[in-house]
Amino acid sequence: MSYQALYRVWRPRTFEDVVGQTHITRTLQNAIEQGKFSHAYLFSGPRGTGKTSAAKIFAKTINCEHAPVKEPCNECSACRGIQDGSISDVIEIDAASNTSVDDIREIRDKVKYASSSVPYKVYIIDEVHMISINAFNALLKTLEEPPKHVVFILATTEPHKIPLTIISRCQRFDFKPISNKAIVDRMRAIMEAESITVSEEAMDTVALAAEGGMRDALSILDQAISYSEDQVGLEDVLAVTGGVSQGILTEIVKAMHEKNVEDALKLLDDLIQRGKDPGRFVYDLIYFMRDLLLFKSAPTLEGLLERARVDESFLALAESVTTEWIQDAIMQLNQCQQEIKWTNSPKVFIEITVLTITNRYHTEEQQPTATSVDAELVSRLSNKMAQLEKEISNLKENPVAPAQPQAAKEKRRQPARSSKNGYKIPFERIRDVLSQAEKPALKQVQSQWANFLSKLKTINAPAHATIQDSKPAAASTDTLVVAFKYEIHCSLFLDNRETVESVLASVMDNQLTIIPIPDKDWTELRTEYINKQDKPKIDQDQADPIVEEAKKLFGEELIEIHE
């Protein structure tokens, strides 16, 4: 006898052999044993999950000579005849090649005839979604009220294409993708029966490549057995599937995380040159990253890892990367996976993605941590305190008596006012800044303000919230006046002042002291300052003694003053 593929030799013959679908097989077994099975079923689900196998087992079980039973005996003439296809009362139809109304009418005409060899006539229609709408309409009445000796089983991978009028006449069972563990357990049993040695890593990789399909898993395993020599190892499966080993994936992820562009691109190029499928590489890398993220988030969930094995290199990599970096990398790879589906140059897109991941994200050492910011603040505050202590000491040694005219002038000026929120506006300090203000200094701050706010938000969100509704109003070489929308934000800003000024200094490369002022008060103060600037020369002329003496000698009408 010629060689038969593994998936044909080991096609399920009992409900127990249908792995991963217990919710369906148990329901069918109980219904058959109690004689309460339906006249029409719809089996839907991904390819290779056991739909047509379950349909054929169902046909054997209801027609078994020992019925009612939960499993077919596979020994009686009915079971053997249905298994080898010699009994004409169990009809398997491929709907992909029998889509017309005439094909369905032929079924409808033959349904009324009683079965000849077994109690029940069973129609198994595979890929039923391929039938035309007119053919479905021709099937409706027969499907709703077939003769008592007829059972219809419709199988499909695309149930959404079937009219609701058909679905409503059937009991629907949804077959799920088979778990990797169930696939591996089934393959292990088959390999023991076949006396073939296959490593655990190889079977895990086959299960992952099968994507939930038992038939696909056995087909891949069949190929790997033919490719290998004495026993099937991981490299044999990778060669057949085009997959990438964990060692290579670990090296690539490590190179990207350490910003080693050269090594990352060399590893990628070597893979492509060795004939690895670019799409398969991205798929494997996403699953490896997923396992890395799961393990880093919850090390106790090692049993849920699908692509990775926890070895020394994996543990070291998990220690070095952050969950945020992994999540961002997965998003980039997922976008790449979508793009390479529609291009003839997948390698280019993968290289761009590798470069993006490598260059875009900083390692933890390069991120501005709270510790480094705190250290910077402490250092700056210490310097300020030392400077203030020195000034106080000088004032004690050389006290300066305030001039009376100046004191009178200060009294006339508006004092620092305390708002209802407890913030005292330092008007005199702001006037001093205005007297030293430079337009280029303000423009430089304004050009960097958006970057400053963005960086502040990543480092300290509460501090960012207090200053986001503000704008730079005036700036000198060492001081910045900031107008806040609301008074309360001025008070709240003072609680986060050191952090804000530190972040601003890192953006501007210059230490600036920030003076907050409510927007309304800033408008009044600015207007007052501009009005005073319009009279300086007149006041100066009146105060100039030479001008006064000239007026006395020659008369005020003869005097003309030039700057």
Q: Which part of the chain is CATH 1.20.272.10?
A: 246-360
What pLDDT does 488 receive?
Answer: 76
Is 50 exceeded by the pLDDT of residue 396? yes
pLDDT band for position 153 (cuts 50, 70, 90): very high
Q: How many helices (H) and strands (E) does the chain have?
A: 27, 10
pLDDT band for position 462 (cuts 50, 70, 90): confident
Distances (CA, A) of 336 to 322, 347, 351, 400: 21, 10, 10, 72
What pLDDT does 162 receive?
Answer: 92
Is 50 exceeded by the pLDDT of residue 410? no
pLDDT digits (tens, 9 = 90+) for 354-377: 998 988 754 444 444 444 445 566
What gap in Å lies between CA 464 and CA 458, rounded to an integer? 9
pTM: 0.58
- Across the range 217-245, mean pLDDT stands at 88
What pLDDT does 28 receive?
Answer: 95
Share of the chain above pLDDT 90, in %: 30
Residue 476 corresponds to which tokens in the numbers above?
């000198």
* Residues 222, 6 contacting (CB under 8 angstroms): yes
Q: Which part of the chain is CATH 3.30.300.180?
A: 417-558
H or E, element range at 154: strand 150-156
Q: Which part of the chain is CATH 3.40.50.300?
A: 6-174
- Across the range 470-494, mean pLDDT stands at 84
Q: Which CATH architecture has domain 6-174?
A: 3-Layer(aba) Sandwich (3.40)
10 Å CB burial of residue 365 (0-12, 13-18, 19+) is exposed
pLDDT band for position 18 (cuts 50, 70, 90): very high
What pLDDT does 377 receive?
Answer: 62
CATH class, domain 246-360, is mainly alpha
pLDDT band for position 378 (cuts 50, 70, 90): low
Using DSSP bridges, classify how beta strands 171-174 and 40-44 pair: parallel, antiparallel or unpaired: parallel
417-558: CATH superfamily:
DnaA, N-terminal domain (3.30.300.180)
pLDDT band for position 408 (cuts 50, 70, 90): very low
Nearest 5°: the CA angle 490, 495, 498 is 105
Q: Which part of the chain is CATH 1.10.8.60?
A: 180-241
- Across the range 44-49, mean pLDDT stands at 92
Tell which residue, 58, 95, 303, 329, has the closest CA to residue 204.
303
10 Å CB burial of residue 501 (0-12, 13-18, 19+) is middle
pLDDT digits (tens, 9 = 90+) for 514-523: 998 888 888 8
What pLDDT does 414 receive?
Answer: 46
Least confident of 273-287, 407-421, 489-503: 407-421
Fold of 180-241: Helicase, Ruva Protein; domain 3 (1.10.8)
